[in-house]
A and B are shown apart, each in its own frame.
Chain A
Amino acid sequence: MKLTKLLTTAAVALGLATTAMAQDKTKVGFVYVGPIGDGGWTYEHDKGRLAVEEAFGDKVETVYVESVAEGPDSERVMTQMALDGADLIFTTSFGYMDPTINVAAKFPNVKFEHATGYKRADNVSTYSARFYEGRAIQGHIAGRMTKSNIIGYIGSYPIPEVIRGINSAFIHARKANPDVQFKIVWAYTWFDPAKEADAAKVLIEQGADVVLQHTDSTAPQAAAQEAGNVITFGQASDMAQYAPFPRVSSIIDDWAPYYIARTKAVMDGTWTSTDTWDGIGAGMVGIGEISDAVPADVKAEALALKASLADGSYHAFTGPLNKQDGTPFLAAGEVADDGTLAGMNFYVEGIEGDIPQ
């Protein structure tokens, strides 16, 4: 058993060596959870890939595989990229975490970058964006603009990433409008236009006139447009085709600068394993143009909030805040530390309903 393992490892290493010699281009692989035409999450990652190609021209070669299921399939796709001589592989979904670590252990000379996870290794970095900063701005606009005082929220999976977004949006919606209620629907998918449209319709029928989404398709935008009096925000991508109404603004993930910097680091041999969590200030989170459907004073407030988040003078989770059950979370003036934010698994006070268990 030992011998065969040794042989396989040797064969893998050999395969690597031959391909590495055959090319002097830096090869960068991308593993996507959705189709590149999803108009949201994967679309933005692919824009980052194209930016890498543009930045380095023929010094770089990029490859990608889209709609890769999390689990053994993703492990196979990553291995295949590594075998084919990739020097750097970006795995762009939370569920790729264990597969990324497994494959990275087999290919110590290939660098891996896993989005939104928490497991690192010598050749595995993690990166994510502080989307919750954008959620604060959405929450503020939503709170100021709702007439029914009911804000609908399409959650994907009840993971800290999504719960953080809900809390941030809620805190700032309540600040702008103390009567605001949140209605949350869990879609259990990142990308499923049919399910997302259903979720949006359910929320609209329950009286929501603002629909926030943490899923990646434009289906909720279309549902809002049909309803006529409901506003939405682009998710992951600008979704500008629904501007100026119902889409009044958006959170845009801008991975391009990060992808270019990391590719450069591999080329220069300066790549090290890091954990990056950037927000509006560093440009990883962009706020799409706030459309004219938003009153001028609300827009000005939103932009001021954006500026204070960007320069660090304000943190989206600043006390006094209680948890949903009334126990204290942050004292007045205290801000949440990154550890708490990273593993956030509770609602803040005022949100109704339970996080699915």
Chain B
Amino acid sequence: MIRLEKRPQPSRAFSLATPLLAVLATMFFGGLLFFALGKDPLASIQTIFWEPLFGEFSFFYRPQLLIKGAPLVLIAIGLSLGFKAGIWNIGAEGQYIMGALFGAGVGLAFYPVEGFYVFPLMVLAGAFGGWLWAMIPALLKVKFGTNEILVSLMLVYVAEQFLASMSLGLMKNPEGFGFPGSRNLQQYASAHNADLIAGTGMHWGVVAAMIAVIFAYVLLTKHRLGFAIRVTGEAPRAAKFSGVNPTRLVLICMGMSGLLAGLAGLFEVSGPAGQVTIDFNVGYGFTAIIVAFLGRLHPVGILLAGLLMALTYIGGDIAQSKLGLPAAAIQVFQGMLLFFLLALDMFTNYRLRLGRTEAA
């Protein structure tokens, strides 16, 4: 008989090994899936994981990893602070949209004035927009005890309606022949979040993501607030005794995650995306939840997890066009990653025992 036994202490070794094992298991079972689809499994896995990093055109794909990974990392860092403390902001997608709308709104309002101050103002507005949107579920939670999971999630759909309204109305490009979508900020130098060094993919969002990683690391290890966050998540009662103010913590955690999601939206709309369109959001806010957990809610882990997710997206697209793998197979592959992570996660707290007596 095989049975599960709770470990007296969560295994630190397993906690660190789980993501790696999950990736390996995904490669193996993903390979089986690709084989079942009649593709060479080794070539498929190689295309997804190797090609973007070291293949013939890696000079193009490596910067793309930063572009795709930066918003994921930025959002996931914010989410992880709340998640650690048991505060569940599921609506980062909405905060990302609002950040983009506020930031782009400021930029478009200045058009066509050129000035060094335009972009910094947009950054402030973007951060404010995301923060504001996260404050709604936060205030409702601390005032009326509403569930922040539901409220923040529902506000995503409200934000999407705002986005549609802005693309079709207020922010519509007056020179766009009636088509929806704003002016392209890439063509407005003062508002353009361009590569800091051309061709490297290093835009301000990437810089912000790196700063956020360092900031979160210092916060969690050195700062009193980091202690409050950790202790609240691990032992809420103990947190109370040690003088943590739960109301303040909710406001801070929600506020910070909203702010970072808003920044991610602003950097995306002013850089890689360029314009406010109805389909501007492509799910970074939701994927970041996966990234946060894949990275064990640890800043460095999140950085690596964000890049790994970006890799599967970019490699997945290459595999589609080079090997003719269907998009759905790639999505299954990405889903496997989370599935195996959660499944293997169990072994952090439990271990397998080959039982002899009781069951027999």
Residues of A within 8 A of B (CB): 1, 4-5, 7-8, 11-12, 15, 29, 35-36, 63-73, 75-77, 79-81, 83-84, 94-95, 98, 102, 118, 157-160, 188, 342-345, 356-357
Contact = CB atoms under 8 A, between A and B. Distances in A.
B147 interface: no
A84 B184 contact: no
Given A73-B282, A188-B164, A65 B57 contact: no
Contacts of A69: 279, 282
Contacts of B115: none
Contact of A76 (B197, B200, B279, B314): B314
B320 A65 contact: yes
Interface stretch (B3-11, B36-44, B222-230, B268-276): B268-276
B298 to A, nearest CB: 27
B317 A76 contact: yes
Instruction: Please name the 4 residue pairs, one residue from A and one from B, whose CB atoms are nearest each other, closest first.
Output: A357-B169, A345-B178, A8-B199, A72-B272
Given A81-B321, A345-B178, A70 B277 contact: yes
A15 B58 CA distance: 11
Nearest to B163: A188
Contacts of B177: 118, 160, 342-343
A241 to B, nearest CB: 21
Contacts of B303: none
Interface string B152-186: 00000000100011001100000001111000101
B327 A344 contact: no
B64 interface: yes
A12 B189 CA distance: 25
Most chain B CB within 10 A, of A15, A36, A76, is at A76
Contacts of A357: 165, 168-169
B168 A158 contact: yes
B278 interface: yes
A263 B67 CA distance: 33
B178 A344 contact: yes
A344 B60 CA distance: 39
Interface residues of B, number: 44
A356 B180 CA distance: 11
Contacts of B53: none
Interface in B182-214: 184, 186, 197-200
A238 to B, nearest CB: 23
B317 A35 contact: no
Contact of A356 (B164, B282, B321): B164
A65 B321 contact: yes
B59 interface: yes
Interface string B43-72: 000000000000011011100100110000
B12 interface: no
26 contacts: A1-B197, A4-B197, A8-B59, A11-B59, A63-B321, A65-B317, A66-B326, A67-B327, A71-B273, A71-B279, A72-B268, A76-B64, A76-B68, A76-B314, A77-B317, A80-B321, A83-B60, A84-B57, A98-B274, A98-B275, A157-B180, A160-B179, A188-B164, A342-B177, A343-B179, A356-B168
B81 to A, nearest CB: 27
A179 B304 CA distance: 63
Contacts of B57: 15, 80, 83-84
Contact of B198 (A4, A84, A94): A4
Contacts of A36: 326
A87 to B, nearest CB: 14
B327 A29 contact: no
B320 A95 contact: no
A231 B179 CA distance: 31
A344 B313 CA distance: 37
B246 to A, nearest CB: 38
B277 A8 contact: no
B322 interface: yes
B180 A72 contact: no
Nearest to A101: B184
Contacts of B279: 69-71, 95
B164 to A, nearest CB: 6
A173 B35 CA distance: 53
B355 interface: no
Contacts of A158: 168, 180
Given A77-B317, A157-B180, A357-B168, A63 B322 contact: yes
Given A71-B282, A160-B179, 20 more contacts: A1-B197, A4-B199, A29-B321, A35-B326, A64-B320, A68-B317, A69-B279, A70-B279, A71-B273, A72-B268, A79-B60, A80-B57, A80-B321, A84-B321, A158-B168, A159-B180, A188-B164, A345-B178, A356-B169, A357-B168
Contact of B60 (A12, A98, A345): A12
A65 to B, nearest CB: 4
Given A80-B317, A118-B179, A5 B199 contact: yes
A188 B272 CA distance: 23
A188 to B, nearest CB: 6
Given A4-B200, A188-B278, A357-B168, A159 B59 contact: no
B139 interface: no
Contacts of A68: 317
Contacts of B199: 4-5, 7-8
